[in-house]
Structure 1
Amino acid sequence: MIYGKEHKMVLQAIMHEGALDEKRGKELISKLFGHENTAHVLNEINAKLQPLYMIVKCVNCEVTGQLYWVWASTVQDKIANFHPEFSQAQLTLLRTIYSEIVTSNNGHVSSTWCLNLCSTLNVKLSKANAEEFLYEMVNRNWLACKNGKYYMGVRSIVELLQYFKDTYQDNLQTCTLCKQVLFYGEKCDQCNTTTHVYCLENYAMNRGGLECPNCHYPISQHSQSGNNNNSSMDIDEINIEMNEVTQSSQRRSKRKHKD
């Protein structure tokens, strides 16, 4: 099929959301194209994006396992990029949260820790402003939230991966099964390897039980129930300009984990 307005509308929907969950993406493609061959449509879109050094990637939320379509650049560096609408204080808070998530042993930080962090920052940020900002980061999938804890969001995993590799290369872990970098997963008590929860559950379906893919040590059942933050969006409302997603560059030095 020739690349047409239907493809552009799918791309604009992904750009608008930053990370579009697969269920809504399938519904959109079914309505526009009359089929659910999402892989074919995404491949056609990516073929057009390739000369622009952009891509639509499919990535799972590490907390819920939900698959998202994320629009990102294929050229990344150690600079973490965000929209200029965010203040320096907000970005300082976010980078400190990133540092704690990456260097922690559990892949998450508590909401209480995040708000208390405001009083220790070099830049002024009220708890009310921080709470509103963190809600926005979850809504835009830069962070994920479950049971009062913040995890790495799918957009951060895709769009800032090179930044994390350059800044925290000694702290990053790799999933035992998919061999991709992971920030939150199930750790084996026997051999200390870590596996994405959704990778482990798919593995368990074929094995008949949860066990470490590396040493086969039994692993306790992990609950994956989570909250999705989906907003409604009609096809007729999709009209996004490229310059709306232009982001400014901000650099942050490596931080050490504090217990």
Structure 2
Amino acid sequence: MIYSEEHKIVLQNIMHEGALHENRGKKLISKLFGHENTTQVLNEINAKLQPLYMIIKCINCEVTGQSYWVWASTVQDKTARFHPEFSQAELALLRNVYSEIVTSSNGHVSSTWCLNLCSTLNVKLTKANAEEFLYEMVNKKWLACKNGKYYMGVRSIVELLQYFKDTYQDSLHTCSLCKEVLFYGEKCDQCNTITHIHCLKNYAMTRGGLECPNCHYPISQHDHSNLLSLGNGTNSAMDEVDIEMDEVTQPSLRRSKRKRLI
């Protein structure tokens, strides 16, 4: 295997994004290598990264089902480490958001709850600053947001999994199909089995209907519409990324709009 400049460009793009949307990665590889064998290229990059204890992992967003390539360490740490640009107040907020997501029964937390939390932190953080910070966390794929609710982002799932296992071992769930740790999914009303939405959708396509993979109990109509909301895969890469920013408008833009209305 020859590790070329083209491999370096792909790696640099993934490192820069933190989590690169798969469709964008495919287009990049097609442009650089003249083929669409992404598995081969990623395996070649990972072979080079192995001695450095780093890896490019492929993971699906639990909310949208979209695939991302995430740059991560193979040596998992028990502590959650973030870029030093984050303040202690911001990190305190994020850890509380993580705790609420992991320990909740539905795998998400409302934006209102997050902002109200600011007044209870040991370190001061204004709601305006919290809005800015949470927007950045969604933008950088540490969190996902839809309909005013925050979910676990793909980077958090990959890069902080050991931290979650050590801190919230008794609260974590496993997907009934892929057997990976799950933070948000569909729970069977009959046997309480939990499954990733994207895994359940793929399972339903092979079975010809929606049912629990464990006990085969039919999924309700409400859950059926939730699964269909993942889309049919025909959206552009940009449209797919925008789904994860649903209901998230940059706070500074919102404030400027309010000023113009006054």
- Both structures adopt the same fold (TM-score exceeding 0.5): yes
Distance of aligned partners of 1:159 and 1:78 in 2 relative to their CA distance in 1, 3 Å threshold: same
Give the CA deviation at 1:210: 0.6
Return the TM-score normalized by structure 2.
0.86
- Greater relative contact order (CA < 8 Å, ≥ 6 in sequence): 1
Q: 1:101 to 1:124 in 2, by over 3 A?
A: same
User: What is the deviation of 1:77?
Assistant: 1.9
**Counterpart code for 2:155:** R
1:80 aligned counterpart, secondary structure: coil
When the two chains are superposed, the root-mean-square deviation of aligned CA atoms in Å is 1.2
Partner of 1:211: 211
Equivalent AA in structure 1 for residue 191 of structure 2: C
SS of 2:81's partner is strand
Mapping 1:194-209, distance limit 5 Å: 194-209=194-209
Preserved CA contact (<8 Å) 1:139 1:229: no
Partner amino acid for 2:75? V
Q: Secondary structure at the match of 1:82?
A: coil
Residue matched to 1:181: 181
User: For residues 202 and 145 of structure 2, what CA distance do their matches in structure 1 show?
Assistant: 23
Tell me how far 1:159 sits from its aligned partner: 0.1
Whether 1:228 and 2:241 are equivalent positions in the alignment is: yes
Deviation at 1:2, TM superposition (A): 1.0
Letter in 2 for 1:211: E
Task: Name the CA distance, whole Å, in 1 between partners of 2:230 and 2:175.
Answer: 20
1:16 is paired with a residue whose SS is helix
Give the distance between the partners of 2:230 and 2:126, measured in 1 at CA: 31
Kindly provide the amino acid, as one letter, of the partner of residue 184 in structure 2. Y
Secondary structure in 2 aligned to 1:57? strand
Q: Which has the higher helix share?
A: 2
Is 1:152 aligned to residue 116 of structure 2?
A: no
Letter in 2 for 1:163: Y
Structure 2: gaps spanning 5 or more residues = 232-239, 244-262
Q: Which runs of 4+ in 1 moved over 4 A?
A: none
- In the other structure, the counterpart of 1:73 is 73
**Who is 1:33 aligned against?**
33
Distance in 2 between residues matched to 1:94 and 1:71, nearest whole Å? 21
Alpha-carbon distance in 1 for matches of 2:82, 2:28: 27
Offset of residue 225 of structure 1: 4.0
Give the partner amino acid of 1:68.
Answer: Y
User: CA contact under 8 A between 2:65 and 2:230: conserved in structure 1?
Assistant: no
Give the superposition deviation at 1:228: 2.1
Say whether the 8 Å CA contact 1:79–1:163 is kept in structure 2: yes
Q: Which residue of 2 aligns with 1:129?
A: 129
Tell me the secondary structure at the aligned position of residue 119 of structure 2: helix
Question: Residue type of the partner of 1:228?
Answer: V
What is the distance in 1 between the residues matched to 2:52 and 2:22? 24
Partner of 2:96: 96
Aligned partner of 1:199: which letter? C
Q: What does residue 164 of structure 2 align with?
A: 164
Alignment partners' CA distance in 2, 1:211 and 1:225: 17
Residues 210 and 219, structure 1, Cα contact 8 Å, conserved in 2: yes
Moved more, 19-28 or 214-223: 214-223
Contact 1:42–1:56 (CA<8 Å) still a contact in 2? yes
| Count, aligned residues | 230
State the distance in 2 between where 1:229 and 1:93 align: 24
Give deviations 1:89-133, integer Å, cap 9, x for gaps.
000000000000000000000001100110111110000000000
Q: Percent identity?
A: 83
Distance in 1, Cα, partners of 2:83 & 2:22: 24
